[in-house]
Amino acid sequence: MTDEPLLRVTALSKYYGSRIGCEDISFDLWPGEVLAIVGESGSGKTTLLNCLATRLLPTSGTASYRMRDGQWRDLYRMSEAERRFLMRTDWGFVHQNPADGLRMTVSAGANVGERLMAVGDRHYGNIRSTAVDWLSRVEIGEERIDDEPRAFSGGMRQRLQIARNLVTGPRLVFMDEPTGGLDVSVQARLLDLLRGLVTDLGLAAIVVTHDLAVARLLSQRMMVMKNGHVVEAGLTDRVLDDPRAPYTQLLVSSILQV
């Protein structure tokens, strides 16, 4: 384990006019660490995620990222081209709705292969065999490689989106409600798969979720957000077993026992 973080976020704020999106957020993320951001709709968690992934520009504050060559770069001072390159190679972004992260009218294999071509892979045979390998890692059979995601179920689409994101060996993956629209049995399978992949690949990930069980299963650390602020942060099991902020206590006590 290295002794430097991968991402450093300092006093990040985003306002929509006079309305707060998120305010004064600071944290470090370390290689291999999974951070969950939880909170209800409108708490600012997705705004924060989008700022971190540079899909939105914050109003103030900084986020620095340690590149593969060890250089620290300010994410909001990079050129558009550099940012795009980072997003295509070293980062992944898993959307809640797979249709937002996939190209629905090209084949499953091409969805995975496209990211590889973006990093310079040109050999068709290699691309196809890597695609087959990744589809099998997300439990999609080789016989489906030429099908379009339109013909896939919701759970399969989400697994395909994950394969598309991970094929380039990113170091940091952003996930926005990755199990959001899925029914529970499909959710469990996806979570288990994600957990395995994150551990095996040593990925760092920032996972936005409103589901505390998802946070418990995937993350080591969590931040609880309300009205754009972090109301509690710490080790995931500490926050869930001994919640201290009034809002966290409300969240934890609202879970239905099965």
Partner 1 sequence: MATPLIVSEVAKAFTMHLRDGIRLPVVSNVSFSVRAGECAVLGGPSGAGKSSILKMVYGNYGVDQGQIIVDHHGQLVDLATANPRTVLAVRRDTIGYVSQFLRTVPRVSALDVVAEPLVARGVARDEAHARAAELLGRLNLPERLWSLPPATFSGGEQQRVNIARGFITDHPVLLLDEPTASLDATNREVVISLIEEKKLKGVALLGIFHDADVREAVADRIVDVTEFAAGKIAA
Q: How many CA atoms lie within 13 A of 181 on its CB side?
A: 12
- Site size with partner 1, rule: CB under 8 A: 22
User: How far apart, in whole angstroms, are the C-alpha atoms of residue 57 and residue 241?
Assistant: 35
Residue 34 binds to partner 1 (criterion: CB under 8 A)? no
Residue 183 binds to partner 1 (criterion: CB under 8 A)? no
Which of 4, 42, 242, 255 is close enough to bind partner 1 by CB under 8 A?
242
Shortest separation between residue 76's beta carbon and partner 1, angstroms: 26
> CA-based Rg of the chain, rounded to a whole angstrom?
18
Beta bridge partners of 12: 25
Nearer to partner 1, 117 or 235 (CB): 235
Segment near partner 1 (CB under 8 A); pick from 50-58, 96-104, 173-181, 213-221: 213-221
Type of residue at 51? C
Shortest separation between residue 239's beta carbon and partner 1, angstroms: 9
CB 148 within 8 A of CB 157: no
Structure tokens at 222: 């969590």
Read off φ and ψ for residue 22, nearest 5 degrees. -145, 155
Which of 2, 192, 202, 255 is close enough to bind partner 1 by CB under 8 A?
192
Nearer to partner 1, 129 or 220 (CB): 220
**CB-based burial, 189-219: b 16+ in 10 Å, e otherwise:** ebbebbeebbeeeebbbbbbbbbbebbebbb
Nearer to partner 1, 46 or 248 (CB): 248
Which of 191, 194, 214, 230 is close enough to bind partner 1 by CB under 8 A?
191
Residue 250 binds to partner 1 (criterion: CB under 8 A)? yes
Structure tokens at 61: 């504050």
Residues that bind partner 1 (CB under 8 A): 30, 33, 188-189, 191-192, 195, 217, 220-221, 234-235, 237-238, 241-242, 244-246, 249-250, 253
